Amino acid sequence: MLQTIKRRRLPILTSLLSASLLFSSCDNGFEELNTNPNALTTPVIPNLFSYSVVKTAGTGYENHRGNLIYAGAIIQHFAALNTYWSGDKYLYNGPYSDAFFETAYGSHIKELEQIISLTKDDPAQSNLYNVARIFRVFAYHRVTDLYGDIPYSEAAKGYLNNTYSPKYDKQADIYADMLNELDLAAPALDATKTGYGAGDIIFAGDLTKWKKFAYSLMLRLGMRLTKVDPAKAETYVKKAIAGGVMQSNDDIAKVNHAEGDDNKRNLDSNTLRTQEYDAANLKGNANSKLSQTFVNFLKNNNDPRLPFIATLWEGNADPTKEAAATAPALQKGLPNGYDVTTIKTLIPTWTDQSMATYSEANLNKIASNSAPTVFQSYAEVEYLLAEAAVRGWGDGQAAAHYNKGVTAAMSMMSLYGGTVPAASITAYLTAHPYLATGTTAQQMEQIGTQYWAVNFLNSYEAYANWRRTGYPVLTPTNYAGNETGGTIMRRLRYPSSEASRNAAQYNAAIAVQGPDLFTTRIWWDKQ
């Protein structure tokens, strides 16, 4: 399969590294070690778990390409005039489309598979086993949501059982197993037994929060099935609600970061800072900006989050100018689907200096180096509960859940060094009340659009939920030479290396799922 897996790099060296070194992206030179993985001792397992979580949060490489350049531009959170920003132009850029698939299998998934293999038969380590199962579901669901059928049951096990050409499992089977894993792992968590302790950098060993995360993730995955298997969707949504989902922003599944070197800071944010904006040098002529679609939504609705999300380049180049540069009246999003030449057909007065007048992600707030990586938010959970209520699967209190979702989403700005006053949240909800008397479609659109907004910088999830719901309603672009005929992409393409290194399994997968194209719909994305 992947070269990093074939080389059988064994994570035995994590026992030799401190936790801080584990967080480094530099582990080159150790790939050829051939130590028996079963020789790993229990103290190493928390380090393996920390390593996997940090890698899942992102190295900067794969998330820049998969989360921002592709998914973030596809769902019109970002826009760019450079053609390597392929997502809003529906162009194929092989290394960028490949990046998330290859990195996921080559780093954090294989560590989770090893933890599970080491702990599954030891009752004393049941919490380590079950937490790893829960987080493995999280890791795999992002891969299958982005690509469709993927290696699953045989994946990342080359160093365990010499499986180097894993089959591609059908997404229907993957989802069935992931939901079952959550169903089994969540209630098996046992507060009387040892957990990961300091190795748990998401919840600091709090098993109650892990249980809430497991059921919240079940809620997310259950909702994925609404188009393809409504009956199963209803079953798991109800099961998740009964099990107990997140109750406040204190339950958010996230990894905290801090200013400093790559061992500490948010590498996705740092990528925006160093590769996209470099504001002091480019004077606003950055590679990417915030999308007109996204900025208009925030600005037109007087959303109090806007100053914490968007700024003009001066605010990023000089934090002392942040207050002036984040003034809502100044914010302007870049139209999607244009390059440096074609933008002049839309804006004839465009010059090289025009980019400086368009909004960027605020590097001092939501995209700071100390901003947390959010895997799943409480606000998202409340929006899903609102949808469940609309569908008749919940408590019937759609408006209450919607209001809690908006309140939580705006209160989340405190994670990024900002504060939205309670009065501003109340004013927003008064101006934009839940459409309780609207049609089902209107209610779904209102919920889905807020879900899209709260998942800014978690573009994998925003893109997945958009494909499921169709909300918000996005206008496709039609850039010359695009790969989709001017329709919004439904998935990313598999790495080209899979067609050569794992050819038989790759060919079997596309024979079932359909051509390896951006327009091929994955299983749950039923038309």
Q: What is the DSSP letter of 276?
A: I
pLDDT at 23 over 80: no
Residues 516-520, mean pLDDT to the nearest whole number: 99
Bond from prior residue into 472 cis (ω within 30 degrees of 0): yes
pLDDT at 468 over 70: yes
Q: What is the pLDDT of residues 429-442, one digit of tens each?
A: 999 999 999 999 99
Tell me if 50 sits within 8 A of 23, measured CB to CB. Answer: yes
Residue 391: how many CB atoms within 10 A of its CB? 17
- The two beta strands, 150-151 and 310-311, are unpaired
Tell me if 181 sits within 8 A of 136, measured CB to CB. Answer: yes
Residues in the chain: 527
Q: What is the 3-state secondary structure (H, E, C) of 104-116?
A: HHHCHHHHHHHHH
Query: Domain 3-29+44-256+482-513 maps to which CATH number in 1.20.120.1200, 3.90.1010.10, 1.25.40.390, 3.40.50.2300?
Result: 1.25.40.390
Any idea what the Cα angle at residue 189 is, between residues 188 and 195, rounded to 5°?
Answer: 140
Any bridge partners for residue 78, and if so which?
Answer: 290
Phi, psi (5° rounding) for residue 253? -85, 110
pLDDT at 244 over 80: yes
**Most confident by average pLDDT, 123-132, 159-168, 312-321:** 123-132
Q: Which residue has the tokens 């009246």?
A: 329
Q: What is the pLDDT of residue 280?
A: 60
Helices (H), ranges, 192-342: 207-224, 230-243, 267-271, 279-282, 292-300, 306-309, 313-317, 322-325
Query: Burial code of 445-476, b = ≥16 C-beta within 10 A, e = fewer?
Result: bbbbbbbbbbbbbbbbbbbbbbbbbebbebeb
Q: How far apart are CA 182 and CA 136, in angstroms?
A: 10
Q: How far apart are CA 227 and CA 244, in angstroms?
A: 24
Query: Burial code of 77-115, b = ≥16 C-beta within 10 A, e = fewer?
Result: bbbbbeeebbbbbbbbbeebbbbbbbbbbbbbbbbbbbb
Q: What is the DSSP letter of 334?
A: B
Q: How far apart are CA 329 and CA 448, in angstroms?
A: 26
- Give the confidence band of 42 by pLDDT, cuts at 50, 70, 90: low
- Give the confidence band of 527 by pLDDT, cuts at 50, 70, 90: confident
Residues 161-168, mean pLDDT to the nearest whole number: 89
pLDDT at 10 over 60: no
Q: What is the pLDDT of residue 22?
A: 35
Q: What is the pLDDT of residues 265-323, one digit of tens each?
A: 999 898 998 888 876 666 677 789 999 999 999 999 999 999 999 999 999 989 999 99
Per domain, the residue ranges of the chain are 3-29+44-256+482-513, 378-454
Q: Taking the model in full, what pTM does it have?
A: 0.92
The structure tokens listed for 257 are 């970061």
pLDDT at 350 over 90: yes
Q: What is the pLDDT of residue 27?
A: 40
Helix (H) or strand (E) holding 379: helix 378-391
